[in-house]
């Protein structure tokens, strides 16, 4: 059987709280035959994938509103606050591609159950963290676990449902994911206000227990016999290089740019990332084939993704923190400010996808990022403290509209720019680029926000706005008007 990875459809449906939460959308098309799984087991398998992936989606959006409480309780410094988020993003972004391949190689159900179990153990570690360093380490393990369970959850759907049912199953998976991502900050904020920040991690334990039981009871094991090798060298080089660069950027805020340790870390990180590129050029089955970048549109789409999600993650990371720390919002209220963003993204993404089919992706990938940039600018304006309705909501609505205009066409563009046989890899690369953009945003913009002296929040939003506008310019210059699918 040959598995065909298809477009990153979740990119077009789920909102992005810490970068896009779209995993590579493995529709798992079985070329030979139909699934013979009984209908009741199919429903239980769908429930397992929904519950499992929901843990990763919730934790990807809920932690931001708990950061001020975590900083106070654990006496964390600014760099540690950034690493509470970055540790998760780093491992997830660097390993999500190889996580999907691991499921194909060793068994999708097995990797999914391992990922869910590891995520639960790491969540317990987060909840019991006695200090910030412990919490950061546990968050890193959560990132590894998410890189295993999220792509495996979609692959399980592909092996469980036949062609006529698969679209509805993935739509249900995406819909539940959108709901959990939207309510995550609100639920997390309520738990922070009325219970403890530790409770946001403890809710993963019953979810994980139910997920594992359902997976073992209802999901049949499946593999891809053609996957015989995993690019561990590339995964290690990518993770180590990104980690060194991120540490150097974060440490610069405390140690200063004159510190030898900062420049050593940046130099080592750059060398490791260069080694990663060399390894990808020489590897027979690379996790990121460099030949994909021969397409001007694919290169442009990923450059656009890097700039747009740099701005988005920076804005949505520091907005709740600013509202809680400087404007007296409760954690629940700060989380609720992002609800309109989730609702608009979930409601209108399908409409913008149809518009892209009609008018082409280039105008939407120009207008959407620029609109998002205007929204970031509004969120950084002096009236942010005037209240939710006049200070926050207008900016959130404009950001949501801009992202909704851009996200679905961006997915289509990424998938259309490469050969059909590389669609899954292209989707995975674009997903990894978006998460890496978020990782860099928290590290770089944290230097400004947490710097001593004048308030850095307006500058953070200004830079986020500039990055989004730059993404729109990339869309206008590098994206084909109507990308043609390659044979």
Instruction: Say whether pLDDT at 259 is over 80.
Output: yes
pLDDT tens-place string over residues 363-383 = 999 999 999 999 999 999 988
Q: State residue 107's pLDDT score.
A: 87
Query: Helix 361-379 crosses helix 296-327 at what angle (to 10 degrees)?
Result: 20
Instruction: Say whether pLDDT at 35 is over 70.
Output: no
Q: Please, which pLDDT band fits residue 137 given cuts at 50, 70 and 90?
A: very high
Q: What is the mean pLDDT of residues 299-314?
A: 94
CB burial of 228-244 (b: ≥16 within 10 Å; e: otherwise) equals eebbebbbbbbbbbbbb
pLDDT tens-place string over residues 345-364 = 777 776 776 777 777 889 99
User: CB-based burial of residue 216 (10 Å sphere; 0-12 exposed, 13-18 middle, 19+ buried)?
Assistant: exposed
Helix/strand/coil for 4: strand
Q: State residue 172's pLDDT score.
A: 72
Q: State residue 310's pLDDT score.
A: 95
Q: Please, which pLDDT band fits residue 138 given cuts at 50, 70 and 90?
A: very high
Q: State residue 386's pLDDT score.
A: 87
Q: Please, which pLDDT band fits residue 174 given cuts at 50, 70 and 90?
A: low
The chain-wide mean pLDDT, for the chain, equals 83
Cα(55)–Cα(311) distance, integer angstroms: 25
> Which DSSP string corresponds to 73-94?
HHT--HHHHHHHHHHHHHHHHH
Q: Please, which pLDDT band fits residue 423 given cuts at 50, 70 and 90?
A: low
CATH superfamily for 11-225 is: MFS general substrate transporter like domains (1.20.1250.20)
Instruction: Say whether pLDDT at 258 is over 80.
Output: yes
- CATH 3.40.50.300 matches 288-487: no
Name, in order, each residue with C-beta under 8 angstroms of 287's C-beta and a sequence gap of 6 or more. 97, 98, 101, 231, 234, 235, 238, 280
């Amino acid at each position: 059987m040959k598995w065909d990875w298809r477009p990153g459809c979740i990119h077009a449906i789920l909102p992005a709280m810490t970068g896009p939460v779209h995993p590579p959308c493995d529709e798992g098309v079985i070329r030979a035959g139909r699934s013979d799984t009984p209908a009741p087991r199919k429903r239980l398998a769908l429930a397992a994938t929904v519950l499992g992936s929901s843990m990763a989606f919730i934790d990807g959006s809920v932690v931001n509103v708990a950061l001020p409480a975590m900083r106070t309780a654990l006496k964390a410094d600014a760099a540690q606050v950034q690493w509470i988020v970055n540790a998760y993003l780093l491992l997830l972004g660097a390993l999500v591609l190889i996580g999907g391949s691991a499921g194909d190689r060793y068994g999708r159900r097995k990797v999914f159950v391992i990922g869910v179990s590891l995520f639960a153990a790491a969540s317990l570690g987060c909840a019991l963290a006695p200090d910030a360093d412990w919490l950061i380490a546990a968050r890193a393990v959560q990132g590894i676990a998410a890189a295993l369970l999220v792509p495996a959850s979609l692959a399980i759907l592909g092996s469980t449902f036949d062609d006529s049912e698969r679209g509805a199953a993935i739509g249900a998976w995406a819909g539940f994911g959108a709901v959990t991502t939207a309510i995550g900050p609100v639920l997390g904020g309520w738990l922070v206000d009325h219970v403890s920040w530790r409770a946001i991690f403890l809710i993963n334990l019953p979810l994980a227990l139910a997920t594992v039981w359902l997976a073992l009871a209802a999901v049949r094991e499946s593999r891809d016999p053609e996957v015989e090798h995993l690019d561990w060298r590339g995964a290690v080089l990518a993770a180590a290089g990104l980690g060194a660069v991120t540490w150097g950027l974060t440490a610069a805020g405390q140690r200063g740019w004159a510190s030898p340790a900062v420049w050593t870390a940046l130099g080592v990180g750059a060398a490791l990332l260069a080694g990663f590129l060399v390894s990808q050029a020489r590897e027979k089955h690379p996790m990121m084939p460099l030949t994909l970048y021969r397409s001007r549109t694919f290169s442009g789409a990923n450059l656009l993704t890097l700039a747009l999600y740099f701005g988005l993650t920076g804005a949505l990371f520091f907005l709740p923190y600013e509202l809680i720390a400087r404007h007296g919002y409760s954690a629940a209220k700060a989380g609720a400010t992002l609800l309109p963003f989730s609702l608009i993204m979930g409601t209108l993404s399908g409409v913008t996808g149809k518009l892209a089919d009609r008018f082409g992706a280039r105008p939407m990938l120009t207008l959407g990022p620029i609109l998002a940039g205007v929204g970031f600018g509004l969120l950084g304006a002096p009236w942010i403290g005037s209240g939710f309705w006049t200070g926050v909501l207008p900016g959130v609505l404009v950001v949501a509209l801009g992202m909704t205009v851009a996200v679905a066409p961006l997915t289509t563009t990424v998938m259309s720019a490469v050969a059909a046989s590389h669609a899954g890899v292209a989707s995975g690369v674009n997903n990894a680029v978006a998460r890496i953009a978020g990782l860099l945003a928290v590290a770089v913009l944290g230097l400004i926000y947490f710097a001593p002296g004048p308030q850095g929040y307006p500058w953070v939003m200004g830079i986020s706005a500039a990055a989004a506008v730059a993404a729109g310019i990339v869309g206008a210059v590098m994206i084909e008007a109507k990308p043609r699918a390659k044979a």
